[in-house]
Chains A and B, each alone.
Chain A
Amino acid sequence: MSKKTALYDQHIKSKALMVDFSGWQMPLHYGSQIQEHHAVRNSVGLFDVSHMGVVEIIGKETVNYLRHMLANDVVKLKNTGDALYSCLLNEKGGVIDDLIAYRFSDDNFRLVINAGCRDKDFAWLQKQAEKFDVTLIMRDDLCLLALQGPNAIVMLEKIFDKNVSEKIAALKPFQFYVSSPTVIARTGYTGEPGVEIMLPTQQAITLWEKCIELNIQPCGLGARDTLRLEAGLNLYGADMNQETSPLISNLAWTVSFKDDHRKFIGRDALEKEKQAGISQQLVGLILESKGVLRNHQAVKINGDGFGEITSGSFSPTLNKSIALARIPISHATNAMVERRGEWLNVKIVKPPFNK
């Protein structure tokens, strides 16, 4: 039996095509995922991402605990209302999940984790927490909505009080504002300006309906995937997993080695990997001819060996197929992708694709 978010009835009302995603009944699209994609790139779109997990961490040793658990360093978060992106690693340096950590105070953080990783993450976080003075709570009472697009911030004036919307407009990316019980963060997964909003069920339904009344386009997981791919943002489970390190996943920038004394889980493995020499990289591919690149298609780089597409799809903005691929370290600017027994020419680029 797959789970429903608190907004299930709202999706049905908006004529969503519902699909199973990591055990959740989620909207794939509300008619046309390409139209939804363009709405976010050109104006504004609304997403229900309540399938994602919110882990509340409370306790005196919260900062030390997270400095041990996360590859990025939460001491970078100086103030209440600062957030950062990080990987959660295993001892081998493989990625258990990617997440955003929100600092409410020295003894209170929240982590937002992927839907498909909820149980495994929580078990892992809980196991490691035994050695620290912290308490973990899975906040299943909260919903998560995302409002994304160049008009998202202006639209907030019609959704929140003037005082609140001005506070949000003044935030920089990866900062958040608390208008209790609602938390509004300048984060997202589309490559556009916008916010992600954490709030209790009833408020979430009210906010969703208000957005629909304002004619904001509801967007499903289909558009979410093409938007994140164009923005060059990794998808957990496709572009990285427990077998791949952040160093070969275009995520080296999210690993903080700065403090020599910080022995975060996975550090030893990553340092060994660096010493041995990084052999692979995650790059962007653009297909110049017609067709669509797909996950797991083989990539051939002349003289430098083979790789594989980790996320392939269609870019509505470029009107071309694009992909992320893991390939050997190479200076090549072109490669070939095997599709149905044919080798197609692709250009190797550095994401994002939509700039």
Chain B
Amino acid sequence: MSDTPRDLHYTESHEWVRIENDDTVLVGVTDHAQHQLGDLVFVELPDMHLTLEKGDEMSVVESVKTAADVYSPISGTVIEINNQLSEQPDLINQDPYGRGWICRIKPDNLEELDELLDADNYEKIISEEH
């Protein structure tokens, strides 16, 4: 069974968002997504200072099996990227909500997060996929 931490926000396209104390957010892909993709071998990270609209393609994660686009769950600016994923893309497999984070975004408007799914609703969506 996939892990779905209660304190995060989720998208239907399987990204997660965590609000940090400084009102920036960390973004990654969910445990369910990494499980479906299988062993990750390459992550195309977003550029620093990239400005994103909610729903923009911001990154590509590639497993042995397939490639998947990662969409920005919120509008804002990329202010930090997880460079470690260049060397160790499988951090997303090992620790999708921790060391497998993809980037930090400074949101234009934090209230946009209210449109996202909570853990219960996300779990409902992934259980309906099967």
Quote the shortest CB–CB distance from A40 to chain B (angstroms): 14
B-side contacts of A176, CB under 8 Å: none
Segment 59-91 of B: residues with Cβ below 8 Å from A: 60, 62, 64-65, 67, 86, 90
Q: Which partner residue on chain B sits nearest A32 by CB separation?
A: B39
> A-B pairs with the 9 shortest C-beta distances?
A34-B39, A314-B41, A292-B62, A314-B64, A290-B42, A32-B39, A33-B39, A291-B42, A292-B42
Rounded to whole angstroms, the CA-CA distance of A28 and B39 in the bound complex is 11
A-side contacts of B98, CB under 8 Å: none
Segment 311-332 of A: residues with Cβ below 8 Å from B: 313-314, 316, 321
The answer to the question of B5 belonging to the interface, with a C-beta cut-off of 8 Å to chain A, is no
B-side contacts of A29, CB under 8 Å: 38-39
The answer to the question of A81 belonging to the interface, with a C-beta cut-off of 8 Å to chain B, is no
Q: Which partner residue on chain B sits nearest A294 by CB separation?
A: B67
Rounded to whole angstroms, the CA-CA distance of A264 and B93 in the bound complex is 51
User: A33 touching B38 by the CB < 8 A rule?
Assistant: yes
Q: Which partner residue on chain A sits nearest B60 by CB separation?
A: A340
Q: Which partner residue on chain A sits nearest B41 by CB separation?
A: A314
B-side contacts of A313, CB under 8 Å: 64
Q: Is the interface of A mostly helix, strand, loop or mixed?
A: mixed
Rounded to whole angstroms, the CA-CA distance of A34 and B39 in the bound complex is 7
Q: Which partner residue on chain A sits nearest B39 by CB separation?
A: A34
Segment 217-234 of A: residues with Cβ below 8 Å from B: 222, 226
Known: A32-B39, A226-B64, A292-B41. 4 other contacts (CB 8 A): A17-B35, A29-B39, A222-B65, A291-B42
Q: What total of chain A residues lie within 8 Å of the partner, measured CB to CB?
A: 17
Encoded as 1 (CB less than 8 Å from any B CB) or 0, chain A from 7 to 19 comes to 0000000000100
Rounded to whole angstroms, the CA-CA distance of A32 and B65 in the bound complex is 12
The answer to the question of B123 belonging to the interface, with a C-beta cut-off of 8 Å to chain A, is no
Rounded to whole angstroms, the CA-CA distance of A321 and B64 in the bound complex is 9
The answer to the question of B44 belonging to the interface, with a C-beta cut-off of 8 Å to chain A, is yes
Known: A291-B62, A294-B67. A222 touches B41 (CB 8 A): no
A-side contacts of B44, CB under 8 Å: 290-291
B-side contacts of A17, CB under 8 Å: 35, 38
Quote the shortest CB–CB distance from A258 to chain B (angstroms): 41
Rounded to whole angstroms, the CA-CA distance of A314 and B39 in the bound complex is 10
Q: Which partner residue on chain A sits nearest B66 by CB separation?
A: A294
A-side contacts of B35, CB under 8 Å: 17
Which single member of A222, A290, A340 contacts B38 (CB below 8 Å)? A222
B-side contacts of A316, CB under 8 Å: 64
User: A34 touching B42 by the CB < 8 A rule?
Assistant: no
Quote the shortest CB–CB distance from B66 to chain A (angstroms): 8
Which single member of B62, B64, B86 contacts A33 (CB below 8 Å)? B64
Rounded to whole angstroms, the CA-CA distance of A10 and B42 in the bound complex is 32
Rounded to whole angstroms, the CA-CA distance of A294 and B93 in the bound complex is 21
- Of B42, B64, B86, most A-chain CB atoms within 10 Å: B64
Q: Can you spell out 21 A-B residue pairs with CB atoms less than 8 angstroms apart?
A: A17-B35, A28-B38, A28-B65, A29-B38, A29-B39, A33-B38, A34-B39, A34-B64, A34-B90, A222-B39, A222-B65, A226-B64, A290-B44, A291-B44, A291-B62, A292-B64, A292-B67, A294-B67, A314-B64, A321-B41, A321-B42
Rounded to whole angstroms, the CA-CA distance of A34 and B62 in the bound complex is 14
Rounded to whole angstroms, the CA-CA distance of A17 and B60 in the bound complex is 23
